[in-house]
Structure 1
Amino acid sequence: MSAGLKALATCVAMSLAGGALAGSTSLRALSDREDLLGWEAVGRLDFAGQGYCSGTLIAPDLVLTAAHCVYDRDGQMRAVDQIQFRAGLQEGSAIAERQALQIAAHPGYRSEQNSNIENITHDVALIRLESPISSSEADPFVLHSGRNYGDEISVTSYGMGRESAPSRQRRCNLMGEYQQVMMIDCNVTFGSSGAPVFSMVGGRGRILSVISSGGTYQGRRVAYGMKLADRVAELKALLRRNPVAAPDRRIKRIRVGSGMNAGGAKFVRPGG
Protein backbone atom coordinates (compact mmCIF):
# COMPACT_ATOMS: atom_id res chain seq x y z
CA MET A 1 0.00 0.00 0.00
CA SER A 2 1.36 3.46 -0.90
CA ALA A 3 2.25 6.04 1.74
CA GLY A 4 -0.85 8.02 0.79
CA LEU A 5 -3.12 5.07 1.32
CA LYS A 6 -1.40 4.27 4.61
CA ALA A 7 -2.25 7.79 5.71
CA LEU A 8 -5.84 7.19 4.68
CA ALA A 9 -5.92 3.89 6.55
CA THR A 10 -4.61 5.63 9.68
CA CYS A 11 -7.34 8.25 9.45
CA VAL A 12 -9.92 5.54 8.89
CA ALA A 13 -8.72 3.62 11.94
CA MET A 14 -9.13 6.73 14.05
CA SER A 15 -12.60 7.38 12.67
CA LEU A 16 -13.67 3.82 13.49
CA ALA A 17 -12.45 3.85 17.07
CA GLY A 18 -15.23 2.50 19.23
CA GLY A 19 -17.58 2.02 16.28
CA ALA A 20 -19.26 -1.18 15.15
CA LEU A 21 -19.71 -2.25 11.55
CA ALA A 22 -22.62 -4.18 10.13
CA GLY A 23 -21.66 -7.32 8.28
CA SER A 24 -21.24 -7.14 4.52
CA THR A 25 -23.33 -9.38 2.32
CA SER A 26 -21.81 -11.72 -0.22
CA LEU A 27 -21.89 -11.15 -3.97
CA ARG A 28 -24.90 -12.34 -5.92
CA ALA A 29 -24.66 -12.87 -9.66
CA LEU A 30 -27.43 -11.21 -11.69
CA SER A 31 -27.55 -14.26 -13.90
CA ASP A 32 -31.01 -14.01 -15.45
CA ARG A 33 -33.13 -11.22 -16.91
CA GLU A 34 -35.37 -10.96 -13.86
CA ASP A 35 -32.34 -10.41 -11.63
CA LEU A 36 -31.08 -7.74 -14.03
CA LEU A 37 -34.26 -5.64 -13.94
CA GLY A 38 -33.38 -2.13 -12.80
CA TRP A 39 -29.63 -2.69 -13.20
CA GLU A 40 -29.41 -2.63 -17.00
CA ALA A 41 -27.54 0.70 -16.97
CA VAL A 42 -24.53 -1.03 -15.42
CA GLY A 43 -22.43 -2.53 -18.17
CA ARG A 44 -19.01 -3.71 -19.24
CA LEU A 45 -16.55 -1.56 -21.13
CA ASP A 46 -14.58 -3.76 -23.53
CA PHE A 47 -11.23 -2.61 -24.90
CA ALA A 48 -10.77 -4.51 -28.17
CA GLY A 49 -9.41 -7.65 -26.52
CA GLN A 50 -7.16 -5.68 -24.14
CA GLY A 51 -9.22 -6.09 -21.00
CA TYR A 52 -12.39 -4.55 -19.63
CA CYS A 53 -13.77 -2.35 -16.86
CA SER A 54 -17.19 -1.69 -15.37
CA GLY A 55 -19.19 1.43 -16.26
CA THR A 56 -22.61 2.97 -15.71
CA LEU A 57 -24.96 5.12 -17.75
CA ILE A 58 -25.63 8.47 -16.08
CA ALA A 59 -27.35 9.83 -19.22
CA PRO A 60 -28.56 8.07 -22.38
CA ASP A 61 -25.20 8.73 -24.06
CA LEU A 62 -22.82 9.11 -21.09
CA VAL A 63 -20.95 6.31 -19.30
CA LEU A 64 -19.25 6.93 -15.97
CA THR A 65 -16.11 4.91 -15.19
CA ALA A 66 -12.62 5.22 -13.69
CA ALA A 67 -10.05 7.37 -15.49
CA HIS A 68 -7.40 4.65 -15.40
CA CYS A 69 -9.69 2.45 -17.49
CA VAL A 70 -9.40 4.74 -20.51
CA TYR A 71 -5.59 4.50 -20.57
CA ASP A 72 -3.67 1.53 -21.94
CA ARG A 73 -0.74 -0.22 -20.25
CA ASP A 74 1.68 2.34 -21.71
CA GLY A 75 -0.22 5.23 -20.16
CA GLN A 76 -1.66 6.38 -23.49
CA MET A 77 -5.34 7.22 -23.85
CA ARG A 78 -7.21 4.53 -25.75
CA ALA A 79 -8.63 5.28 -29.18
CA VAL A 80 -12.41 5.64 -29.13
CA ASP A 81 -12.85 2.85 -31.68
CA GLN A 82 -11.24 0.46 -29.17
CA ILE A 83 -13.93 1.08 -26.54
CA GLN A 84 -17.37 -0.51 -26.58
CA PHE A 85 -20.00 -0.21 -23.84
CA ARG A 86 -22.23 -3.27 -23.39
CA ALA A 87 -25.14 -2.34 -21.14
CA GLY A 88 -26.50 -5.14 -18.96
CA LEU A 89 -24.13 -7.69 -20.49
CA GLN A 90 -25.16 -11.14 -19.37
CA GLU A 91 -23.74 -14.42 -20.70
CA GLY A 92 -22.65 -12.89 -24.00
CA SER A 93 -25.86 -10.93 -24.64
CA ALA A 94 -26.21 -7.22 -23.90
CA ILE A 95 -29.31 -5.05 -23.55
CA ALA A 96 -27.60 -2.53 -25.84
CA GLU A 97 -24.13 -2.04 -27.29
CA ARG A 98 -22.55 1.25 -28.33
CA GLN A 99 -19.17 2.39 -29.58
CA ALA A 100 -17.42 5.26 -27.79
CA LEU A 101 -17.37 8.63 -29.51
CA GLN A 102 -15.54 10.85 -27.03
CA ILE A 103 -13.50 10.42 -23.84
CA ALA A 104 -13.02 12.89 -21.02
CA ALA A 105 -10.59 11.76 -18.32
CA HIS A 106 -10.19 14.10 -15.39
CA PRO A 107 -7.13 16.32 -15.97
CA GLY A 108 -6.10 15.83 -12.35
CA TYR A 109 -5.53 12.11 -12.93
CA ARG A 110 -1.94 11.04 -13.72
CA SER A 111 -1.76 7.80 -15.69
CA GLU A 112 1.97 7.44 -15.01
CA GLN A 113 1.47 7.38 -11.23
CA ASN A 114 0.30 4.60 -8.94
CA SER A 115 -2.69 4.84 -6.63
CA ASN A 116 -2.37 7.65 -4.12
CA ILE A 117 -4.79 10.05 -2.49
CA GLU A 118 -4.56 12.62 -5.26
CA ASN A 119 -4.92 10.08 -8.08
CA ILE A 120 -7.88 8.30 -6.48
CA THR A 121 -9.60 11.65 -6.00
CA HIS A 122 -9.40 12.32 -9.75
CA ASP A 123 -9.72 8.74 -11.07
CA VAL A 124 -12.95 9.53 -12.94
CA ALA A 125 -13.82 9.56 -16.65
CA LEU A 126 -16.86 10.07 -18.85
CA ILE A 127 -17.34 8.34 -22.18
CA ARG A 128 -19.80 9.76 -24.67
CA LEU A 129 -21.41 7.11 -26.86
CA GLU A 130 -21.93 7.38 -30.61
CA SER A 131 -25.68 7.18 -30.09
CA PRO A 132 -27.94 7.24 -27.01
CA ILE A 133 -29.35 4.14 -25.33
CA SER A 134 -33.06 4.61 -24.73
CA SER A 135 -34.34 4.68 -21.16
CA SER A 136 -36.70 1.84 -22.04
CA GLU A 137 -33.61 -0.33 -22.60
CA ALA A 138 -31.47 0.94 -19.72
CA ASP A 139 -32.57 3.69 -17.34
CA PRO A 140 -29.55 5.85 -16.35
CA PHE A 141 -28.66 6.31 -12.70
CA VAL A 142 -28.31 9.71 -11.06
CA LEU A 143 -25.50 10.84 -8.77
CA HIS A 144 -25.92 10.99 -5.02
CA SER A 145 -25.90 14.39 -3.38
CA GLY A 146 -25.72 15.43 0.25
CA ARG A 147 -24.16 13.88 3.33
CA ASN A 148 -26.85 11.30 4.07
CA TYR A 149 -25.55 8.06 2.53
CA GLY A 150 -28.34 5.93 3.96
CA ASP A 151 -28.07 2.60 5.73
CA GLU A 152 -27.02 0.57 2.69
CA ILE A 153 -24.08 1.00 0.36
CA SER A 154 -23.89 -1.48 -2.48
CA VAL A 155 -21.74 -2.28 -5.51
CA THR A 156 -22.66 -3.80 -8.86
CA SER A 157 -19.71 -4.83 -11.00
CA TYR A 158 -18.06 -7.18 -13.44
CA GLY A 159 -14.80 -8.79 -12.42
CA MET A 160 -12.25 -11.49 -13.00
CA GLY A 161 -13.96 -14.88 -12.74
CA ARG A 162 -17.39 -13.24 -13.00
CA GLU A 163 -16.93 -11.20 -16.14
CA SER A 164 -19.87 -12.70 -18.06
CA ALA A 165 -22.60 -11.21 -15.84
CA PRO A 166 -22.79 -8.42 -13.28
CA SER A 167 -22.60 -9.30 -9.60
CA ARG A 168 -24.25 -7.25 -6.88
CA GLN A 169 -23.19 -6.91 -3.28
CA ARG A 170 -26.33 -5.62 -1.65
CA ARG A 171 -24.67 -4.32 1.48
CA CYS A 172 -21.15 -3.24 2.27
CA ASN A 173 -19.74 -0.63 4.62
CA LEU A 174 -18.24 2.82 4.38
CA MET A 175 -15.21 2.36 6.64
CA GLY A 176 -14.05 5.95 6.57
CA GLU A 177 -13.36 9.10 4.56
CA TYR A 178 -10.27 11.21 4.12
CA GLN A 179 -10.45 14.40 2.08
CA GLN A 180 -12.33 13.34 -1.09
CA VAL A 181 -11.55 9.59 -0.80
CA MET A 182 -13.74 6.84 0.66
CA MET A 183 -12.67 3.44 1.97
CA ILE A 184 -15.29 0.70 1.69
CA ASP A 185 -15.18 -3.04 2.39
CA CYS A 186 -16.95 -4.07 -0.81
CA ASN A 187 -15.79 -7.19 -2.65
CA VAL A 188 -14.02 -5.99 -5.81
CA THR A 189 -11.39 -7.50 -8.09
CA PHE A 190 -9.73 -6.94 -11.47
CA GLY A 191 -12.37 -5.63 -13.87
CA SER A 192 -14.36 -3.98 -11.09
CA SER A 193 -12.58 -0.69 -11.74
CA GLY A 194 -15.12 1.97 -12.64
CA ALA A 195 -17.98 0.06 -10.99
CA PRO A 196 -20.68 2.17 -9.32
CA VAL A 197 -20.94 2.38 -5.56
CA PHE A 198 -24.60 3.02 -4.74
CA SER A 199 -26.27 4.77 -1.86
CA MET A 200 -29.80 3.46 -1.45
CA VAL A 201 -31.31 6.72 -0.19
CA GLY A 202 -34.71 7.44 -1.73
CA GLY A 203 -35.59 4.06 -3.20
CA ARG A 204 -33.55 3.51 -6.35
CA GLY A 205 -29.80 3.57 -5.91
CA ARG A 206 -27.85 6.76 -6.55
CA ILE A 207 -24.18 6.65 -7.51
CA LEU A 208 -22.07 7.67 -4.54
CA SER A 209 -18.64 6.79 -5.96
CA VAL A 210 -16.85 4.58 -8.48
CA ILE A 211 -14.24 1.94 -7.70
CA SER A 212 -10.70 3.19 -8.24
CA SER A 213 -8.49 0.58 -6.58
CA GLY A 214 -8.42 -2.12 -3.95
CA GLY A 215 -6.20 -3.38 -1.18
CA THR A 216 -6.23 -4.82 2.33
CA TYR A 217 -6.64 -3.13 5.69
CA GLN A 218 -6.24 -5.00 8.97
CA GLY A 219 -6.70 -8.28 7.14
CA ARG A 220 -9.87 -7.15 5.34
CA ARG A 221 -10.25 -6.57 1.64
CA VAL A 222 -11.13 -2.96 0.95
CA ALA A 223 -11.73 -0.71 -2.02
CA TYR A 224 -11.18 2.98 -2.60
CA GLY A 225 -13.39 5.43 -4.43
CA MET A 226 -13.88 9.17 -4.65
CA LYS A 227 -16.64 11.68 -4.06
CA LEU A 228 -18.17 12.37 -7.42
CA ALA A 229 -20.27 15.49 -7.69
CA ASP A 230 -17.52 18.02 -8.44
CA ARG A 231 -15.50 15.62 -10.59
CA VAL A 232 -18.42 14.72 -12.87
CA ALA A 233 -19.45 18.36 -13.25
CA GLU A 234 -15.90 19.19 -14.35
CA LEU A 235 -15.90 16.35 -16.88
CA LYS A 236 -19.25 17.37 -18.36
CA ALA A 237 -17.90 20.89 -18.82
CA LEU A 238 -14.84 19.44 -20.56
CA LEU A 239 -17.04 17.49 -22.98
CA ARG A 240 -19.08 20.61 -23.75
CA ARG A 241 -15.94 22.62 -24.50
CA ASN A 242 -14.68 19.96 -26.91
CA PRO A 243 -17.71 18.68 -28.85
CA VAL A 244 -17.30 15.79 -31.27
CA ALA A 245 -19.86 15.03 -33.97
CA ALA A 246 -21.07 11.46 -34.37
CA PRO A 247 -20.06 9.90 -37.70
CA ASP A 248 -22.67 9.61 -40.44
CA ARG A 249 -23.22 5.88 -40.79
CA ARG A 250 -24.72 6.44 -44.22
CA ILE A 251 -21.20 7.22 -45.50
CA LYS A 252 -19.46 4.01 -46.47
CA ARG A 253 -15.81 3.47 -45.73
CA ILE A 254 -13.79 3.45 -48.96
CA ARG A 255 -10.67 1.32 -48.99
CA VAL A 256 -7.70 1.40 -51.32
CA GLY A 257 -8.14 -1.14 -54.12
CA SER A 258 -11.90 -1.26 -53.77
CA GLY A 259 -12.26 -0.36 -57.45
CA MET A 260 -13.84 3.01 -56.63
CA ASN A 261 -12.19 6.12 -58.02
CA ALA A 262 -11.35 8.01 -54.84
CA GLY A 263 -7.78 8.98 -55.61
CA GLY A 264 -6.41 6.33 -53.25
CA ALA A 265 -8.15 7.92 -50.26
CA LYS A 266 -9.38 5.99 -47.25
CA PHE A 267 -12.15 7.60 -45.22
CA VAL A 268 -12.30 6.65 -41.55
CA ARG A 269 -14.37 7.61 -38.57
CA PRO A 270 -13.20 10.61 -36.54
CA GLY A 271 -10.73 9.28 -33.96
CA GLY A 272 -10.35 6.01 -35.89
Structure 2
Amino acid sequence: MWRWIAALAILMAAGPLAAADSRLARLDTLESGRGWDAVGRLDIGGSGFCTAALIAPDRVLTAAHCLFDRRTGERIDPAQLEFLAGWRNGRAAAYRQVRRAVVHPDYAFGAADTAARVRYDLALLELQQPIRNTVISPFAIARQPRKGAQVGVVSYAVDRADAPSLQQLCDVKARQQGILVMSCSVDFGSSGAPVFLHGVDGPSIVSVVSAKAEADGGNVALGTALAGLLPVLNAQLGAGEGHALPPPPSVNRVTAGARRETGARFLRP
Protein backbone atom coordinates (compact mmCIF):
# COMPACT_ATOMS: atom_id res chain seq x y z
CA MET A 1 0.00 0.00 0.00
CA TRP A 2 1.52 3.33 -1.07
CA ARG A 3 1.53 6.21 1.39
CA TRP A 4 1.46 9.60 -0.33
CA ILE A 5 3.60 12.37 1.12
CA ALA A 6 4.26 16.02 0.26
CA ALA A 7 4.46 17.04 -3.39
CA LEU A 8 7.61 18.82 -4.51
CA ALA A 9 5.84 22.11 -5.19
CA ILE A 10 9.01 24.09 -5.83
CA LEU A 11 10.20 26.22 -8.68
CA MET A 12 13.37 24.32 -9.39
CA ALA A 13 14.51 21.44 -11.51
CA ALA A 14 15.22 17.82 -10.79
CA GLY A 15 17.15 16.61 -7.79
CA PRO A 16 19.35 13.53 -7.45
CA LEU A 17 17.78 10.26 -8.52
CA ALA A 18 18.54 6.71 -7.42
CA ALA A 19 17.18 3.52 -8.93
CA ALA A 20 18.25 0.45 -10.90
CA ASP A 21 21.06 2.60 -12.27
CA SER A 22 21.54 5.52 -9.90
CA ARG A 23 24.41 7.09 -11.81
CA LEU A 24 23.86 10.53 -13.25
CA ALA A 25 25.47 11.32 -16.58
CA ARG A 26 26.09 15.05 -16.86
CA LEU A 27 25.13 16.33 -20.32
CA ASP A 28 27.48 19.30 -20.35
CA THR A 29 29.16 18.88 -23.74
CA LEU A 30 27.88 18.97 -27.31
CA GLU A 31 28.56 15.27 -27.65
CA SER A 32 26.97 14.12 -24.39
CA GLY A 33 23.97 16.38 -24.90
CA ARG A 34 23.32 15.30 -28.45
CA GLY A 35 19.68 14.35 -28.86
CA TRP A 36 18.63 15.91 -25.54
CA ASP A 37 18.50 19.61 -26.48
CA ALA A 38 14.69 19.55 -26.50
CA VAL A 39 14.92 19.27 -22.71
CA GLY A 40 15.45 22.72 -21.27
CA ARG A 41 15.35 24.90 -18.22
CA LEU A 42 12.16 26.85 -17.64
CA ASP A 43 13.21 30.06 -15.92
CA ILE A 44 10.57 31.73 -13.80
CA GLY A 45 10.97 35.47 -13.44
CA GLY A 46 14.49 35.22 -12.03
CA SER A 47 13.16 33.51 -8.89
CA GLY A 48 13.73 29.85 -9.75
CA PHE A 49 13.29 27.29 -12.47
CA CYS A 50 11.78 23.97 -13.48
CA THR A 51 12.70 21.42 -16.11
CA ALA A 52 10.55 21.30 -19.26
CA ALA A 53 10.56 19.51 -22.60
CA LEU A 54 9.64 20.47 -26.14
CA ILE A 55 6.92 18.23 -27.63
CA ALA A 56 6.11 20.37 -30.70
CA PRO A 57 7.94 23.31 -32.31
CA ASP A 58 5.89 25.75 -30.24
CA ARG A 59 4.75 23.66 -27.24
CA VAL A 60 6.51 22.71 -24.03
CA LEU A 61 5.46 20.27 -21.34
CA THR A 62 6.12 20.73 -17.61
CA ALA A 63 4.45 20.32 -14.21
CA ALA A 64 1.46 22.50 -13.36
CA HIS A 65 2.79 23.48 -9.94
CA CYS A 66 5.69 25.24 -11.66
CA LEU A 67 3.23 27.91 -12.80
CA PHE A 68 2.13 28.96 -9.32
CA ASP A 69 3.70 31.27 -6.77
CA ARG A 70 4.19 29.15 -3.65
CA ARG A 71 3.87 32.13 -1.32
CA THR A 72 0.61 33.53 -2.68
CA GLY A 73 -0.87 30.58 -4.58
CA GLU A 74 -1.44 32.86 -7.58
CA ARG A 75 -0.75 31.90 -11.17
CA ILE A 76 2.52 33.20 -12.56
CA ASP A 77 2.17 35.47 -15.58
CA PRO A 78 3.45 33.61 -18.68
CA ALA A 79 5.41 36.76 -19.52
CA GLN A 80 7.67 35.81 -16.60
CA LEU A 81 8.51 32.41 -18.12
CA GLU A 82 11.33 31.64 -20.52
CA PHE A 83 12.30 28.28 -22.01
CA LEU A 84 16.04 27.73 -22.42
CA ALA A 85 16.33 24.71 -24.70
CA GLY A 86 19.44 22.62 -24.11
CA TRP A 87 20.79 25.06 -21.51
CA ARG A 88 24.35 24.17 -20.45
CA ASN A 89 27.38 26.11 -19.32
CA GLY A 90 25.77 29.51 -19.78
CA ARG A 91 24.41 28.86 -23.27
CA ALA A 92 21.15 27.58 -24.72
CA ALA A 93 20.48 26.08 -28.12
CA ALA A 94 17.41 28.37 -28.28
CA TYR A 95 15.74 30.96 -26.06
CA ARG A 96 11.98 31.46 -26.15
CA GLN A 97 9.50 33.45 -24.13
CA VAL A 98 6.19 31.82 -23.30
CA ARG A 99 3.12 33.28 -24.99
CA ARG A 100 0.40 31.25 -23.29
CA ALA A 101 0.21 28.61 -20.57
CA VAL A 102 -2.58 26.28 -19.49
CA VAL A 103 -2.88 23.81 -16.63
CA HIS A 104 -5.25 20.87 -16.44
CA PRO A 105 -8.68 22.14 -15.28
CA ASP A 106 -8.81 19.52 -12.51
CA TYR A 107 -5.49 20.58 -11.00
CA ALA A 108 -5.79 22.42 -7.67
CA PHE A 109 -2.55 24.00 -6.49
CA GLY A 110 -3.84 24.75 -3.00
CA ALA A 111 -5.26 21.28 -2.42
CA ALA A 112 -3.80 18.82 0.05
CA ASP A 113 -0.92 16.66 -1.13
CA THR A 114 -3.03 13.78 -2.37
CA ALA A 115 -3.00 11.45 -5.35
CA ALA A 116 -5.55 13.70 -7.07
CA ARG A 117 -3.19 16.67 -6.95
CA VAL A 118 -0.35 14.67 -8.50
CA ARG A 119 -2.59 13.03 -11.10
CA TYR A 120 -3.41 16.36 -12.76
CA ASP A 121 -0.07 18.10 -12.20
CA LEU A 122 0.52 18.91 -15.87
CA ALA A 123 0.91 22.14 -17.83
CA LEU A 124 1.36 22.96 -21.50
CA LEU A 125 3.10 26.13 -22.69
CA GLU A 126 2.85 27.81 -26.07
CA LEU A 127 6.08 29.52 -27.05
CA GLN A 128 6.08 33.01 -28.49
CA GLN A 129 7.97 31.69 -31.51
CA PRO A 130 8.40 28.08 -32.67
CA ILE A 131 11.80 26.43 -32.36
CA ARG A 132 12.84 25.14 -35.74
CA ASN A 133 16.42 24.02 -36.26
CA THR A 134 18.35 20.85 -36.92
CA VAL A 135 19.70 20.60 -33.38
CA ILE A 136 16.43 20.55 -31.43
CA SER A 137 13.86 17.89 -32.26
CA PRO A 138 10.63 17.76 -30.23
CA PHE A 139 10.04 14.54 -28.33
CA ALA A 140 7.18 12.21 -29.16
CA ILE A 141 4.64 11.16 -26.55
CA ALA A 142 4.30 7.44 -25.78
CA ARG A 143 1.66 5.38 -24.03
CA GLN A 144 1.82 4.83 -20.30
CA PRO A 145 4.46 2.17 -19.62
CA ARG A 146 3.54 -1.11 -17.97
CA LYS A 147 4.56 -2.09 -14.47
CA GLY A 148 8.17 -3.26 -14.50
CA ALA A 149 9.16 -1.11 -17.48
CA GLN A 150 12.42 0.80 -17.29
CA VAL A 151 12.36 4.55 -17.82
CA GLY A 152 14.86 7.42 -17.64
CA VAL A 153 14.83 11.04 -16.48
CA VAL A 154 16.64 14.12 -17.80
CA SER A 155 16.63 17.09 -15.45
CA TYR A 156 18.30 20.16 -14.02
CA ALA A 157 18.70 20.71 -10.27
CA VAL A 158 19.77 23.27 -7.70
CA ASP A 159 23.23 21.69 -7.55
CA ARG A 160 23.53 21.32 -11.33
CA ALA A 161 21.64 24.29 -12.68
CA ASP A 162 24.02 24.91 -15.57
CA ALA A 163 23.68 21.55 -17.31
CA PRO A 164 21.14 18.74 -17.26
CA SER A 165 21.89 15.22 -16.14
CA LEU A 166 20.55 11.92 -17.37
CA GLN A 167 19.59 9.03 -15.13
CA GLN A 168 19.39 6.17 -17.55
CA LEU A 169 17.26 3.68 -15.65
CA CYS A 170 14.40 3.69 -13.14
CA ASP A 171 11.74 1.03 -12.72
CA VAL A 172 7.99 1.59 -12.94
CA LYS A 173 6.85 -0.01 -9.69
CA ALA A 174 3.13 0.59 -10.14
CA ARG A 175 0.43 2.42 -12.05
CA GLN A 176 -2.03 3.74 -9.53
CA GLN A 177 -4.93 6.18 -9.86
CA GLY A 178 -3.51 7.72 -13.03
CA ILE A 179 -0.04 8.08 -11.51
CA LEU A 180 3.23 6.34 -12.30
CA VAL A 181 5.11 5.18 -9.21
CA MET A 182 8.81 4.87 -10.08
CA SER A 183 11.87 3.69 -8.23
CA CYS A 184 13.65 6.99 -8.87
CA SER A 185 14.34 8.67 -5.54
CA VAL A 186 13.68 12.39 -6.04
CA ASP A 187 14.56 15.14 -3.61
CA PHE A 188 14.06 18.89 -3.83
CA GLY A 189 13.79 19.50 -7.53
CA SER A 190 12.76 17.38 -10.48
CA SER A 191 9.69 19.55 -11.01
CA GLY A 192 8.46 19.03 -14.55
CA ALA A 193 11.35 16.77 -15.57
CA PRO A 194 10.39 14.51 -18.50
CA VAL A 195 10.28 10.77 -17.91
CA PHE A 196 11.36 8.81 -20.97
CA LEU A 197 10.70 5.37 -22.33
CA HIS A 198 13.50 4.25 -24.64
CA GLY A 199 12.26 2.58 -27.83
CA VAL A 200 13.60 1.61 -31.22
CA ASP A 201 12.85 5.11 -32.52
CA GLY A 202 14.53 6.83 -29.60
CA PRO A 203 13.21 8.24 -26.31
CA SER A 204 9.56 9.22 -25.94
CA ILE A 205 7.98 11.06 -23.02
CA VAL A 206 5.59 9.02 -20.87
CA SER A 207 5.31 11.30 -17.81
CA VAL A 208 6.66 14.34 -15.99
CA VAL A 209 7.96 14.25 -12.42
CA SER A 210 5.53 15.75 -9.95
CA ALA A 211 6.17 14.54 -6.42
CA LYS A 212 7.68 11.96 -4.12
CA ALA A 213 6.14 9.36 -1.86
CA GLU A 214 7.18 6.71 0.60
CA ALA A 215 6.64 3.01 -0.04
CA ASP A 216 7.94 0.06 1.95
CA GLY A 217 10.29 2.31 3.87
CA GLY A 218 11.87 3.89 0.80
CA ASN A 219 11.28 6.91 -1.41
CA VAL A 220 9.71 6.69 -4.84
CA ALA A 221 9.01 9.24 -7.57
CA LEU A 222 5.49 10.07 -8.67
CA GLY A 223 4.73 11.18 -12.19
CA THR A 224 1.59 12.11 -14.06
CA ALA A 225 0.26 9.64 -16.61
CA LEU A 226 -0.17 11.68 -19.79
CA ALA A 227 -2.95 9.61 -21.33
CA GLY A 228 -6.18 11.61 -21.26
CA LEU A 229 -4.52 14.74 -19.88
CA LEU A 230 -2.48 16.08 -22.78
CA PRO A 231 -5.42 16.16 -25.25
CA VAL A 232 -7.30 18.34 -22.76
CA LEU A 233 -4.42 20.80 -22.56
CA ASN A 234 -4.04 20.91 -26.34
CA ALA A 235 -7.77 21.61 -26.62
CA GLN A 236 -7.47 24.47 -24.12
CA LEU A 237 -4.77 26.13 -26.18
CA GLY A 238 -6.75 25.45 -29.34
CA ALA A 239 -9.72 27.22 -27.79
CA GLY A 240 -7.63 30.31 -27.12
CA GLU A 241 -7.23 29.83 -23.36
CA GLY A 242 -4.16 31.05 -21.52
CA HIS A 243 -2.79 34.55 -21.16
CA ALA A 244 -1.35 35.77 -24.47
CA LEU A 245 1.65 38.02 -24.98
CA PRO A 246 1.75 40.60 -27.77
CA PRO A 247 2.75 39.33 -31.23
CA PRO A 248 6.44 38.39 -31.43
CA PRO A 249 8.90 40.80 -33.06
CA SER A 250 9.76 40.31 -36.69
CA VAL A 251 13.37 39.48 -35.84
CA ASN A 252 14.33 36.88 -33.27
CA ARG A 253 16.00 38.73 -30.42
CA VAL A 254 18.38 35.91 -29.50
CA THR A 255 20.33 33.60 -31.75
CA ALA A 256 20.84 29.94 -30.99
CA GLY A 257 23.84 29.31 -28.78
CA ALA A 258 24.18 32.88 -27.52
CA ARG A 259 25.57 33.30 -24.01
CA ARG A 260 23.52 35.11 -21.47
CA GLU A 261 23.14 35.22 -17.71
CA THR A 262 19.61 34.75 -16.35
CA GLY A 263 20.19 35.96 -12.82
CA ALA A 264 18.01 33.15 -11.48
CA ARG A 265 18.03 32.56 -7.76
CA PHE A 266 16.57 29.62 -5.93
CA LEU A 267 13.51 29.53 -3.72
CA ARG A 268 13.74 27.41 -0.62
CA PRO A 269 10.98 24.75 -0.56
Fold conserved between structures, TM > 0.5: yes
Distance in 2 between the 1:119 and 1:71 partners? 14
Aligned to 1:70: 67
Which amino acid in structure 2 is aligned with residue 111 of structure 1? F
Distance in 2 between the 1:249 and 1:105 partners? 26
Distance in 2 between the 1:189 and 1:226 partners? 17
C-alpha change, 1:151 and 1:217, in structure 2 (3 Å) is: closer
- Deviations, residues 224-267 of structure 1 (Å, cap 9, x unaligned): 0121021011000000001657514259xxxxxxxxxxxxxxxx
Which amino acid in structure 2 is aligned with residue 249 of structure 1? P
| Aligned-residue CA RMSD (Å) | 2.2
Which structure has more strand as a fraction of its residues? 2
Report if the CA contact (8 A) 2:3-2:213 is conserved: no
Distance in 2 between the 1:68 and 1:50 partners? 14
- Aligned residues between the structures: 234
Report if the CA contact (8 A) 2:209-2:221 is conserved: yes
C-alpha change, 1:151 and 1:184, in structure 2 (3 Å) is: closer
Distance in 2 between the 1:89 and 1:103 partners? 21
Aligned to 2:27: 30
Report if the CA contact (8 A) 2:129-2:248 is conserved: no
Report if the CA contact (8 A) 1:145-1:229 is conserved: yes
1:222 shift after superposition: 1.5
Report if the CA contact (8 A) 2:79-2:98 is conserved: yes
Q: 34, 38, 45: which is aligned to 2:42?
A: 45
Normalising to structure 2: TM-score of the pair? 0.81
Gaps of 5+ in 2: 6-18, 252-269
Which structure has more helix as a fraction of its residues? 1
Q: 53, 56, 59: which is aligned to 2:53?
A: 56
Which amino acid in structure 2 is aligned with residue 165 of structure 1? A
Aligned to 2:108: 110
Which amino acid in structure 2 is aligned with residue 203 of structure 1? D
Q: Percent identity?
A: 37
C-alpha change, 1:151 and 1:229, in structure 2 (3 Å) is: closer
Gaps of 5+ in 1: 7-21, 252-272
Aligned to 1:98: 96
Aligned to 1:247: 247
Aligned to 2:197: 199
